[in-house]
Chain A
Amino acid sequence: MGCFHSKVAREFRGHEDPVKLASETAFSVSEVEALFELFKSISSSVVDDGLINKEEFQLALFKSRKRENIFANRIFDMFDVKRKGVIDFGDFVRSLNVFHPNASLEDKIDFTFRLYDMDCTGFIERQEVKQMLIALLCESEMKLADETIEIILDKTFEDADVNQDGKIDKFEWSDFVNKNPSLLKIMTLPYLRDITTTFPSFVFNSEVDEIAT
């Protein structure tokens, strides 16, 4: 008993307790441990400080430290729950939780709303959507005429902006997503279910499972 507890303490010193994280998310304790293996490798890739900074995030996502992308920046900011400029293990697990196949639709809808509300006004404004659309086209090196972009925006806002005030509020967004569920595709990572196989933690899986389950 004493041996086991000190192992846990040592492994996760300085990070949030995996049992607590498991109790607050859709992940089991062994899945949280597996996420810790992943977290360790990402957070030590540039600066070995047990935290994921922007460069490390970019490196993990794009295999390039320097590649900037406004959408990846947005995701990083949302994972950086405490607004410290770095993602700690607790932030990491709680944020990935929203991407779990079992996470609630409501949580996923809320996340996407905040994601696209880039200037955090509480609304997704037409101008914001235009900027994001242009950014995507640039990223993919695709070109569309100004006119075409306006037509796409018109059609989108016609569908989504029910009260026609030029911006999409939380309720309009929720209705819009329910009509177009494919918009949440980016919010589910099916392989989060297989995480223990992909990132086996050799420390004390079975013991923790027996106690926690």
Chain B
Amino acid sequence: MEKQVREANSVEAGGDSGPSKNGENHEPPQLANLNAFDIIGLSAGFDLAGLFGDVYSKQETRFASRKPASVIISKLEEVSKSLKLKIGKQDAGLFKLEGSNEGRKGALSIDAEIFQVTQTFHLVEVKKCNGDTMEYQKLVEEDLRPALADIVLVWQGEKEKHEELPRVLQDEQEEQEPSSSSIETSTSNMTQFA
């Protein structure tokens, strides 16, 4: 997701902005804000890649987090270090993680971009920039996801952890009833978060 208009609004309280290439400031990052349509556009229903079969495998994914941006950034730095990836800040909220090994299609390079929905609700987009797609997917599945677990509320396409039904039951339910349109769920069904 690239935002042309970066709004210099609500500055995150506390924390630093992570490694900055020009090193000139350590202010909290001015993140791009998501509007309602950015969020709506995330729906799987708009992702027509599925029509084309499994051929076009996922090169990007997203997760939601209830942590402030500074915590997310620190975590990304920590994880990069442990995975021996070099992390650099490209722009407000945009970080590049680079591997040193020349894989089959060049060195693996991943973008992690943080978007703000509210000060305590962020969306992070993880996307392959360069390198072999399978290598990227392996890294995300086997290394990134477990390492980021404590800051992740939910990954795109998955259900929130604390709501998980035993897997078998879930599958059975899906088989038995075509779930009715989710639009009927009113906000009163949702737990209220501040």
Contacts and interface: CB of A to CB of B under 8 A. Distances in A.
Partners in one complex: yes
Interface of A: 38, 42, 60-64, 66-75, 99, 116, 129, 131-146, 148-149, 151-153, 155-156, 159-160, 179-183, 185-186, 189, 191, 198
5 contacts: A69-B45, A71-B46, A133-B39, A133-B40, A143-B193
B44 A69 contact: yes
Given A134-B187, A140-B64, A151 B118 contact: yes
B117 A144 contact: yes
Interface string B34-46: 1111111111111
B35 A155 contact: yes
Given A68-B178, A179-B4, A181-B2, A61 B39 contact: no
B101 interface: no
B3 interface: yes
Q: How large is the interface on B (under 10, 10 to 19, 20 to 34, 35 or more residues)?
A: 35 or more
B37 A61 contact: no
Interface of B: 1-5, 33-53, 55-56, 64, 117-118, 121, 153-154, 156-160, 163, 174-175, 177-183, 185-187, 190-194
Given A70-B183, A132-B183, A133-B40, 20 more contacts: A38-B51, A60-B50, A68-B180, A70-B181, A75-B48, A132-B36, A134-B187, A136-B42, A136-B43, A139-B182, A141-B158, A141-B160, A143-B190, A143-B193, A152-B117, A155-B33, A179-B4, A183-B38, A189-B49, A191-B55
Contacts of A189: 48-49, 52
B3 A69 contact: no
Nearest to B118: A148
Nearest to A191: B56
B61 to A, nearest CB: 12
Nearest to A76: B45
A108 to B, nearest CB: 13
B40 A136 contact: yes
A44 to B, nearest CB: 14
A65 to B, nearest CB: 8
A143 B64 CA distance: 10
B154 A156 contact: no
Contacts of A42: 51
Contacts of B183: 70, 131-132, 134-135, 138
Nearest to B120: A148
B40 A132 contact: yes
A68 B181 contact: yes
A57 to B, nearest CB: 8
Nearest to B64: A142
A74 B48 CA distance: 13
A146 B178 CA distance: 27
A149 B187 CA distance: 10
B100 to A, nearest CB: 28
Contacts of A135: 43, 181-183
B142 to A, nearest CB: 23
Contact of B160 (A62, A142, A148, A180): A142
Contact of B3 (A64, A144, A180): A180
A140 B177 CA distance: 19
A141 B45 contact: no
A74 B41 CA distance: 13
A141 B33 contact: no
